Amino acid sequence: MVIARLWSRIGGIAVSTALVGAAALVAGSGAVADAAPATSMRDLVPAPAVVAPVDADAYRITARTQLRVQAGSAPARDIADQLAGTLRRSTGYRLPVTETASPVPADGISLLLTGAGPDAGDEGYRLDVTRGGVAIRANGPAGLFHGVQTLHQLLPAAAESASRRPGPWAVPGGHVLDRPRFGYRGAMLDVARHFFTVAQVERYIDEIALYKINYLHLHLSDDQGWRIAIASWPQLAEYGGGTAVGGGPGGFYTREDYRRIVEYAASRYVTVVPEIDMPGHTNAALASYAELNCDGVAPPRYTGIDVGFSSLCVGKDVTYDFVRDVVGELAAMTPGPYLHIGGDEAKSTTPQDYATFIGRVLPIVAEHGKTVVGWHDVTRTSPPTSVVPQYWGTTGQDADVAAAAARGNRVVLSPANRAYLDQKYDPSTPLGLSWAGYVEVRDAYGWDPGSYLAGIPASSVLGVEAPLWSETLTTTPDIEYMAFPRLPAIAELGWSPAGSHDWEAFKRRLGAQGPRWTVMGINFYRSPQVPWRS
Ligand code: NGO
């Protein structure tokens, strides 16, 4: 009864009476777990759409536990192998992965592509933990992957350890039915101001995937560096990639490097969105090819952090040869649907030139089969409704963005004073900038994407994105310190139902993540706003 009420009150999602009945039965049976779990279904981040803990029940992973995976599905197998790989290291158990064609989960951990029901959608899942086992069901592999991320949070933090730990390995009992609020849940990494290696990007992909982020936007070019090899314009990477903010050696991704990043991301159900920032933020390109400059003179490479001083030459035909070649090569390397053209802070381009430039670039991207994302500055040009503006302002109001939404454009929200991970937490934060103000965890969490921007209803919101600009960041610990714990806050706004939004509950659930980050070696900011568990 309690569970039935809970399901209907929290979720508004139809749940089969069979499931509710079974759960109630177990709850009423007075079953006692072998070992009380260290974690709780009430502590998940992002909050699931529906969660119904059955505290009297729990499953314990032992040396005899098997993983069973949907027969014939290579992606499901891969997800099971990832899970088993992590758990074998920490538990020391064999945890064999075997295929099953049965829609009925046996004992152990089952990953099934049947029986999730329509409410789980494309990316959601259903997770049932009873004394007999754990069953994750989804309509597709992305949902299974997300369900496995939830299972990770239900295991003791030590399960993430790279070396063997004693256990016990209890998973709290109960039921989760989950699916995302928004389809686009992004994280951006600026690899232009400082370059990060493939391994560093892969680590960040692992970290964002824990919180069900499904897009990684890579800011691949800026005044200070061009980070992707373009075969038809080789100097861009070879010369333009050879420095960084502060004058370091920079770096760039070869096509093979980029392919590895895209593939690694795909294995974590993350889609890469590449950005070439134009027509401003282009000093690295202008320095690499003199003909791209209106006066035909290449400027020196730039290692400061000013913005707004560079522009491609809008009146020259070669500019569009350049755009066509770069966009063409990048689109061919990118399986995902989006290509980001930047478009922000074109302060050295006249409004007329800016409109001309964007008007010529949009069809080039469309010719290559990609959907354009651009910083919301592109709405000044009244772009077609297929263009996705990314709002990065701080006021919650923008007439041009609202007009675009009214015409039908869908918007990604990254308000800088909420979602920018590069802003300092408070005046004492050693890294980051503060032009948008200080952004503590509560600020990052305290807004609703569905009502944040004046004139933009939730139906016009494609999703949210947390950008991490790297003017002041040079190492993986730097990245982690700025992203954690704010990235999970933005991830929750993107995933969880609006009705679950509650700072008091969120900060408690967030605090429960701390021990996992410690075991994983994630360098996080211990915000005083959060009751961290030890
Ligand atoms: C702005 C600017 C970037 C900076 C960032 C720093 C946008 C879209 N353009 O955001 O070039 O790196 O702020 O916070």
Instruction: Please check the confidence at residue 237 and state whether its pLDDT lies above 60.
Output: yes
Q: Tokens in use for 108?
A: 């152990």
Is 391 near ligand 1, meaning CB less than 6 Å away?
A: no
Q: What is the mean pLDDT of residues 38-67?
A: 95
| Distance separating alpha carbons of residues 245 and 190, to the nearest angstrom | 12
Is 308 near ligand 1, meaning CB less than 6 Å away?
A: no
Is 355 near ligand 1, meaning CB less than 6 Å away?
A: no
Whether 415 and 438 share a structural domain:
yes
Whether 243 and 322 share a structural domain:
yes
Dihedral class, residue 455 (left if φ above 0, else alpha if ψ from -120 to 50, else beta): left
- Say which CATH number the domain at 170 has: 3.30.379.10
Phi, psi of 373 (to 5 degrees): -110, 140
Whether 153 and 278 share a structural domain:
no
Instruction: Please check the confidence at residue 47 and state whether its pLDDT lies above 90.
Output: yes
Instruction: Please check the confidence at residue 414 and state whether its pLDDT lies above 90.
Output: yes
Active site residue 345: yes
Whether 212 and 162 share a structural domain:
no
Q: What is the mean pLDDT of residues 256-278?
A: 98
How much is the pLDDT for 366?
Answer: 98
Q: Cα–Cα distances in Å, from 131 out to 1, 60, 127, 215, 329?
A: 20, 8, 13, 35, 53
Q: How far is CA 365 from the centre of its chain?
A: 24
The 10s digit of each residue's pLDDT in 398-408 is 999 999 999 99
How much is the pLDDT for 7?
Answer: 45
Pick the residue whose CA is nearest to atom 4 on ligand 1. 469
Instruction: Please check the confidence at residue 16 and state whether its pLDDT lies above 50.
Output: no
Q: CA-based Rg of the chain, rounded to a whole angstrom?
A: 24
Whether 298 and 290 have beta carbons less than 8 Å apart is answered as yes
Burial, 430: exposed, middle or buried (Cβ in 10 Å; 0-12, 13-18, 19+)? exposed
Is 375 near ligand 1, meaning CB less than 6 Å away?
A: yes
Q: Report helix angle 486-495 to 198-209, nearest 10.
A: 50
Is 420 near ligand 1, meaning CB less than 6 Å away?
A: yes
In the reported structure, the alpha carbon of residue 472 is separated from the centroid of ligand 1 by a whole-number distance in angstroms of 12
Band the pLDDT of 103: cuts 50, 70, 90: confident
Instruction: Please check the confidence at residue 305 and state whether its pLDDT lies above 70.
Output: yes
174 within some domain: yes
How much is the pLDDT for 18?
Answer: 31
Measured from the Cβ of residue 56, the count of other Cβ atoms closer than 10 Å reads 16
Q: Pairing between strand 50-61 and 169-178?
A: antiparallel
Mean pLDDT of the chain: 93
How much is the pLDDT for 50?
Answer: 97
Residue ending a domain, among 178, 209, 225, is 178
394 within some domain: yes
How many domains are there within the chain? 2
How much is the pLDDT for 35?
Answer: 56
Instruction: Please check the confidence at residue 31 and state whether its pLDDT lies above 50.
Output: no
The 10s digit of each residue's pLDDT in 386-400 is 999 999 999 999 999
How much is the pLDDT for 6?
Answer: 35
In the reported structure, the alpha carbon of residue 469 is separated from the centroid of ligand 1 by a whole-number distance in angstroms of 7
**CA 375 to ligand 1: nearest atom:** 8
Is 437 near ligand 1, meaning CB less than 6 Å away?
A: no
More confident residue, 22 or 76: 76
141 within some domain: yes
Band the pLDDT of 106: cuts 50, 70, 90: confident
Q: What is the mean pLDDT of residues 402-418?
A: 98
Q: What is the mean pLDDT of residues 343-361?
A: 97
Residues with Cβ within 8 Å of residue 23, at least 6 apart in sequence: 3, 52, 54, 174, 175
- Say which CATH number the domain at 480 has: 3.20.20.80
Whether 421 and 468 have beta carbons less than 8 Å apart is answered as yes
In the reported structure, the alpha carbon of residue 436 is separated from the centroid of ligand 1 by a whole-number distance in angstroms of 10
Instruction: Please check the confidence at residue 320 and state whether its pLDDT lies above 80.
Output: yes
How much is the pLDDT for 36?
Answer: 72
How much is the pLDDT for 65?
Answer: 97
Whether 201 and 168 share a structural domain:
no
**CA 469 to ligand 1: nearest atom:** 12
Range of the domain at 220: 184-499
Burial, 250: exposed, middle or buried (Cβ in 10 Å; 0-12, 13-18, 19+)? buried
Least-confidence region, from 6-20, 94-108, 484-498: 6-20
Whether 110 and 134 have beta carbons less than 8 Å apart is answered as yes
Marked catalytic residue, from 345, 440, 465, 480? 345
The 10s digit of each residue's pLDDT in 420-465 is 999 999 999 999 999 999 999 999 999 999 999 999 999 999 999 9
Whether 376 and 470 share a structural domain:
yes
In the reported structure, the alpha carbon of residue 100 is separated from the centroid of ligand 1 by a whole-number distance in angstroms of 50
Q: What is the mean pLDDT of residues 171-190?
A: 98
Whether 126 and 199 share a structural domain:
no
114 within some domain: yes
The label of the residue with tokens 């503590």 reads: 440
